[in-house]
Chain A
Amino acid sequence: MFALDHYNSACLYLFRDKWAGLLGHVSGEVSGGMQSGLLHPVSGLDHVLAMVAVGLWGAQLGAPQIWLLPIVFPLVMACGAALGVMGLQLPGVEIGIASSAIVLGIMVLFEAKPPIVVSSILVGVFAIFHGHAHGTELPHGESGILFSIGFVIGTGLLHAAGIGIGVIHRWPWGEKCLRAAGALVFMGGCYFLADSLGWIS
């Protein structure tokens, strides 16, 4: 692997100014892979709404779901992204993404507390749609490994943001704020569903 794989040595950007004169074979914008991957999960508001909602819901549910959901979502999302990257088609992806915001918004709005298995499956199913959409949109010419690292970290950070916001759940006013946030996610999901069905021109 030494010096053969572009992505391996791409991290030399850490020392690019110091070593620029000492290194050969410039390979272009490979370092953009991580940056691109990190920003990709925040490229669509529908994705952001759903992923933050997962964190909010996890915060409402408490342990162990607060930790379990951020494990399930990125892992299953990577499965969906893998399907998309390999060109396998999945019907109704946009509808699935919009539905995820609607359902997760409802869960947060009503502070639903289903069993662990149900919440994990629910989040996992939606994660496939989100992952597939990202997978089909992955830009060509990026470094695969760096893009993957950035993509997973970006997704995880969105969950972390949701969990961080969800900390306010410990206060009575915070519970109401979280429910209001759930209502916003729900409304956003309705908008995106109408858009994906072509009801909004």
Chain B
Amino acid sequence: MDLLMRQLAAKLQGMYRPAQVVVLASIIVMLASRTAYAHLVTSGVGPFYDGVAHFFVSPDDLLVVVALALAGGFSGKQVARWVAVVLPLAWLCGMLAVSVLPATSEVSPTLGAVTMLTSGLLLCACPTGAGWLVLPCVAIMGVVHGWLNGNAVASTGTSLLAGLGIVTASAVVGLLLSALSISLTAAWQRIMLRVAGSWIAAMGLLALAWQFRTVAS
């Protein structure tokens, strides 16, 4: 596991510039778009890949995993290893819990905003080596997002393979970003992680307030 994390970290360092290009290109494409589609019915490549694609185009899921994985790597290799295991497992448990817990389509955006705010604050403010704080947060938020995803999968009658695709995508992103976070050792890079956390928290806070405005109106 240690060797795998180190190899991933080394590869990610090499991929740093291409990754920047991909992010910039994505933002440009986003800004150039005009029409959106509310429901992912099918991508034409099967339910598993529908789930994978859904994860990457769901900002609330994606940003939470980004923040948690970076926070895990920020807390050290040991915590990062645990995050890579706990996050997908918790996500899966949350999905499986759908059969027990009641449906929540009404509050899912609010919960998503709350987890985004919390995970951002965690990345922004958690002390170095705070595995005792990061891992429970990862477990709780993994369960919450898994539950929300699983709830929606069940309510729309989508194949469970789509849920498995979401879990797989979260696991891969969590692993890669944990490794990336470990490789960022320079002071300014560590501070950039904190800045990223504060931005994610700010997005979550604003999204949360947005939900209350919707309720009020």
Residues on A facing B (Cβ under 8 Å): 1-16, 19-20, 22-32, 34-35, 38, 64, 67, 70-72, 74-75, 77-79, 81-83, 85-87, 135, 138, 140, 143-149, 151-153, 156
Contacts and interface: CB of A to CB of B under 8 A. Distances in A.
Interface of B: 26, 29-31, 33-44, 51, 53-54, 56-61, 63, 105, 108-109, 112-113, 124, 145, 148-149, 151-153, 155-156, 158, 162-163, 166, 188, 191, 194-195, 198-199, 201-214, 216-217
Contacts of A30: 36, 38
Contacts, number: 219
Contact of A152 (B43, B145, B202): B202
B209 to A, nearest CB: 3
B194 A71 contact: yes
A186 to B, nearest CB: 27
Given A3-B156, A24-B39, A29-B35, A87 B30 contact: no
A93 B202 CA distance: 20
25 contacts: A1-B148, A1-B149, A2-B54, A2-B158, A2-B166, A6-B38, A7-B60, A7-B109, A8-B57, A8-B60, A10-B38, A13-B29, A13-B36, A13-B37, A19-B37, A64-B191, A71-B194, A78-B202, A82-B205, A82-B206, A85-B212, A86-B212, A87-B213, A145-B60, A152-B199
A11 B30 contact: yes
A149 B126 CA distance: 22
B34 A31 contact: yes
B156 A2 contact: yes
Most buried by A among B34, B40, B212, B214: B40
Nearest to B210: A144
Nearest to B121: A75
Contacts of B34: 13, 29, 31-32
A35 B31 contact: yes
B22 to A, nearest CB: 12
Nearest to B206: A148
A170 B17 CA distance: 27
